[in-house]
Chains A and B, each alone.
Chain A
Amino acid sequence: MLTILRNRFLRVPDKLYIIIIAVVIIPLVIGAVIYFSGATQSPYKIAFISKEDAPPVKHELIQIEQMNERPAMSALVMGKYNAIVEAVEDQKYTVTTYKDESFKKTIEEYFETGKLPVNHTTAKRGIGTSILGVILLIALMQGVALTTFYPDDRNKSTFKRIMMSPLTSRQYLVAQGMFTFSCLFVPTYFVILVMKICFKINIGFGLGALTGLLIIATALATAFSLFMASVMNRNISLATSGISILTCLLAGCLFNYDSQSKWLDAVTNILPQKPFMTLSQGMEGGQTFSDFPWQIGYIVGWIIVLWFEGSLITKKKVQKGIY
């Protein structure tokens, strides 16, 4: 197995994109997420249409631009302004916005009373959880690219040759998994450590919790990519990216959303990403791993199932002489 692992690393220099993923994409994305999440909550931009009146109110969270004419609707769509406010009569304003009703109410109330309602911000997700959500998505998407040696070996019939040696297909997959795992885990962990220790950026987790959560995320991505690489023969990365993006969106890895459909809830509750998000949210809130035995058990269950299915399929294919 060590031989296989060493073989993977020897072949890395020829696979430029593996290096790109590990050294460029992962750090870049993590950096970007931290940057975006770390920026203080940006003020709402309001276009205030009025010929003479100065804006009646002032607040650090609300930036008001006074103008004579209504801005283009597309500026509103693109988010240049969050709302357009027009004075109808004294102390009465109409608010045009594409945002949800509660936001509209908030702005209306603000202009009428000069104060923001108390519960004007929805509970925001912690920065650490946001970062881990994105990392999970990236890991799931890029895991397959880091598993590329396996389908590569099959195409070049070196896999068949390896199967003729005393090495079993399971051992081969374990070695491949170790490679994928380390290529995902090491750069991610490294970047976050640098951010945390050198730049003193608040990641939201302690080191121990962070290590544990990252191990879970990368292990899941590794099992998933091994599974996909075992099941599919062509267009593996395309299919994997598609599945990863969709499931991560639905599981709320990128942003929280309130689902209004029980049916959809039932579907998304099956996904392993969901308990992962719950877990990291809780950990960021100060709880420990022992508070989430079910969530952890469920994710581990997924890892085991994906892993066994993948290795079973490979074993079957080898026995049938497909490779």
Chain B
Amino acid sequence: MKTIVSIRNLEKHYGPKRAVAGISFTMTEGEILGLLGPNGAGKSTTINILSTILSPDKGEVEIVGHDLRKEPLAIKQNIGIVPQDLAIFEEITAEQNVRFFAGLYKLKRDDLDELVKEALELVGLEDRKKEKPKTFSGGMKRRLNIACAIAHRPKLIIMDEPTVGIDPQSRNHILESIKTLREKGATIIYSTHYMEEVEAIADRIMIMNEGVIIAEGTKEELIQIAGNETIYRFELNNSQNLDEQRISQIPGITNVHLAENQLTVQSEKSKSILHAIIATLFDNGCTFEKMTSKETSLETVFLELTGKRLRD
């Protein structure tokens, strides 16, 4: 597989503050990398450096085989950025918007029509291309925002929270288009606050916090880091006869905790042991009103690693 992005020891300071503190990673062609992190984690700084508008203090960056410091123009030609802000012109039509931004790249005039059409089709705005974005809904503007970044067929697409504040339908449409882009061979960096989006499309996930990468891997690998487990909670009607020892002896149970008729049992996720726990409870003469179970999710991983909720 061809390496599209290669970053080594990237650093960027704002005064005494280290926005990016020596990160390294690589991406291969056709990969979708989900970039997660709380606000101020250094995601936007990293994205701005990759898009060549911010120069790094230290480190090496190579994109599509070009060195960031030596050939920024060659890099620009090969990347497409979907900015977090709606960077589109409200006063000209959707098509003119896409044509304008595509026109900033070195493209053949004959290809331009085709590329503009392709981009508008991909985001589902082909039938509204003659209208001005002023009249668009939030979701449509977001989609146009994406179309403007992809018309020149960039090899690397960087999306900075492209789905902020839109309806679920538009979001699904956007996620579908991203998958289509990947099928066409694009490599994508996808920064977001929405865990479910990353789970849905990313091949690999990277979590940043305070300027460093604190975890990286597939969804399964990350869940493994946080201890892949299932937690069961029982609200017992009576617990005076319950012997906690007997439950913790069940193979696969890692922890048992009982307090005021609330029983919490932690177990390894892969083991199916719910029936064993329930059988033991009945044996001890315990009945229960309610039972919940929770598996480790990306959200838990994130919370555990950063100490912050994602949308804080």
Contact = CB atoms under 8 A, between A and B. Distances in A.
Interface of A: 3-4, 6-7, 10-11, 13-15, 156-158, 160-167, 318-319, 321
A166 B77 contact: yes
B92 A166 contact: no
A164 to B, nearest CB: 5
A165 B53 contact: no
Contact of A3 (B53, B55, B91, B100): B100
B91 A158 contact: no
A3 B92 contact: no
Given A10-B96, A161-B148, A321-B48, A166 B88 contact: no
B269 interface: no
Interface residues of B, number: 27
Given A11-B92, A160-B53, A165-B101, 12 more contacts: A7-B100, A11-B89, A14-B91, A156-B89, A160-B87, A161-B83, A161-B87, A162-B101, A164-B79, A165-B104, A165-B105, A321-B48
B53 A166 contact: no
9 contacts: A6-B103, A7-B89, A15-B91, A164-B52, A164-B53, A165-B101, A166-B76, A167-B104, A318-B53
Given A163-B53, A166-B106, A7 B87 contact: no
A148 to B, nearest CB: 12
A140 B89 CA distance: 27
Instruction: Name the residue in A6, A160, A161, A318 with the highest tally of chain B Cβ atoms < 10 Å from its Cβ.
Output: A161
Main secondary structure of the interface of A (DSSP, over half): helix
Given A10-B96, A319-B55, A164 B76 contact: yes
A164 B157 CA distance: 12
Nearest to A2: B103
Given A160-B53, A160-B87, A321-B54, A3 B81 contact: no
A319 B54 contact: yes
B76 A158 contact: no
A322 to B, nearest CB: 10
